[in-house]
């Protein structure tokens, strides 16, 4: 587990399998709703940037303006820096940081982006206020999150039995349904001109197997067992069933994402 400087604990973990599903995300696939709001010369902050694959595309959109990515996981920041170097992207920097206590001055950015982060923060409203603080008046915030109850899969699937995973996530302060309440959060935090929308991605067999692997990690098992949410045997059985189901020829898993954009009112 990464050293943390906040009370948050990232349920999905930092090992290879856990991020296998996120390292293929791009700005075009997961931040397309923000791209029309960006222009050359803007400053942009990607909070909870993970391995930084989305950030690189956002950096391209604002060049020669600068993009910054922050994440509480040092492992991801190292990957993000390696990715930027391999891709030869010069106008981006990555640093460890906490979404709830950003190390940036007030009104530093034209745009703030956070994808699949709000669901991991114990205080999403406080986070929104913090993100508003670092935005310039008139600047844009764009967030995207899921809602596990809206996931769809067929045929009958062991994925319906992951209640213990969600219980651990909530115990860590997370909000697996937050995609549904993002617009209200934006409004309550004082953003205006709110836009909402969504899109669907597919969770392929490789990513599903990665989730099964995540469930088998000792740190996760300890949390689930100590929380009284599942026994080690139940976790192993479900992980095995998920692996088998993911490899069925006719199985599919669709993941809806909900996004929201808002502007910081110009003073």
Ligand X SMILES: C[S@@+](CC[C@H](N)C(=O)[O-])C[C@H]1O[C@@H](n2cnc3c(N)ncnc32)[C@H](O)[C@@H]1O
Q: Which residues bind ligand X (CB under 6 A)?
A: 6, 8, 10, 12, 22, 25, 30, 48-50, 54, 71-73, 76, 98-100, 115-117, 120-121
CA gap 258, 243 in Å, rounded:
27
CA gap 179, 114 in Å, rounded:
12
In whole angstroms, how close is the CB of 127 to ligand X at the nearest point?
8
Q: Which is nearer to ligand X, 173 or 227 (CB)?
A: 173
φ, ψ (nearest 5 deg) of residue 221:
-60, -45
What share of residues in the chain are helix, strand, coil (percent, to 5)?
A: 40, 25, 35
CB within 8 Å of 156: residues ≥ 6 apart: none
In whole angstroms, how close is the CB of 97 to ligand X at the nearest point?
6
In order, the DSSP letters of 7-44 are S---TT-SSHHHHHTTTT--HHHHSTTTGGG--TT--E
The CA distances from residue 26 to 1, 53, 92, 163, 230, in Å, are: 25, 6, 15, 30, 35
Q: Which is nearer to ligand X, 11 or 43 (CB)?
A: 11
Q: Which is nearer to ligand X, 37 or 120 (CB)?
A: 120
CB within 8 Å of 10: residues ≥ 6 apart: 2, 72, 73, 120, 172
In whole angstroms, how close is the CB of 137 to ligand X at the nearest point?
24
Q: Which is nearer to ligand X, 78 or 236 (CB)?
A: 78
In whole angstroms, how close is the CB of 228 to ligand X at the nearest point?
24
Q: Which is nearer to ligand X, 29 or 192 (CB)?
A: 29
Tokens of 249: 């020829």
HSE-CB at 247 with a 13 A cutoff on CA atoms is 8
Q: Which is nearer to ligand X, 25 or 175 (CB)?
A: 25
Q: Which is nearer to ligand X, 73 or 183 (CB)?
A: 73
In whole angstroms, how close is the CB of 190 to ligand X at the nearest point?
21
- In the three-class reduction of DSSP (H, G, I as helix; E, B as strand; rest coil), residue 248 is classed as coil
- In the three-class reduction of DSSP (H, G, I as helix; E, B as strand; rest coil), residue 210 is classed as helix
In whole angstroms, how close is the CB of 12 to ligand X at the nearest point?
6
In whole angstroms, how close is the CB of 75 to ligand X at the nearest point?
8
Shortest-Cβ-distance residue relative to ligand X:
50
Tokens of 261: 């954009």
In whole angstroms, how close is the CB of 171 to ligand X at the nearest point?
15
Q: Which is nearer to ligand X, 127 or 230 (CB)?
A: 127
């Amino acid at each position: 587990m990464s050293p943390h400087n906040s009370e948050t604990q990232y349920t999905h973990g930092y090992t290879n399998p856990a991020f296998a599903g996120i390292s293929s995300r791009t700005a075009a696939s997961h931040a397309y709703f923000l791209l029309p709001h960006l222009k050359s010369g803007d400053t942009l902050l990607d909070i909870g940037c993970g391995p930084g694959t989305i950030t690189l595309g956002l950096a391209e959109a604002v060049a020669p303006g600068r993009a910054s990515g922050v994440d509480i996981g040092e492992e991801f920041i190292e990957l993000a820096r390696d990715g930027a170097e391999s891709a030869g992207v010069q106008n981006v920097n990555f640093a460890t940081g906490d979404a709830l206590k950003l190390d940036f001055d007030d009104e530093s950015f034209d745009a703030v982006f956070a994808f699949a982060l709000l669901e991991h923060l114990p205080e999403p409203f406080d986070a929104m206020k913090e993100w508003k603080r670092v935005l310039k008046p008139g600047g844009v915030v764009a967030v995207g999150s899921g809602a596990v109850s809206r996931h769809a899969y067929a045929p009958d699937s062991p994925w319906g039995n992951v209640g213990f995973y969600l219980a651990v996530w909530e115990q860590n302060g997370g909000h697996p349904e937050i995609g549904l309440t993002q617009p209200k959060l934006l409004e309550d935090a004082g953003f205006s001109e709110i836009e909402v929308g969504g899109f669907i991605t597919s969770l392929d067999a490789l990513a599903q197997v990665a989730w099964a692997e995540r469930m088998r990690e000792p740190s996760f098992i300890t949390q689930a067992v100590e929380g009284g949410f599942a026994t080690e045997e139940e976790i192993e059985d479900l992980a095995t069933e998920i692996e088998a189901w993911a490899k069925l020829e006719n199985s599919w898993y669709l993941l809806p994402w909900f996004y929201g954009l808002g502007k910081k009112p110009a003073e």
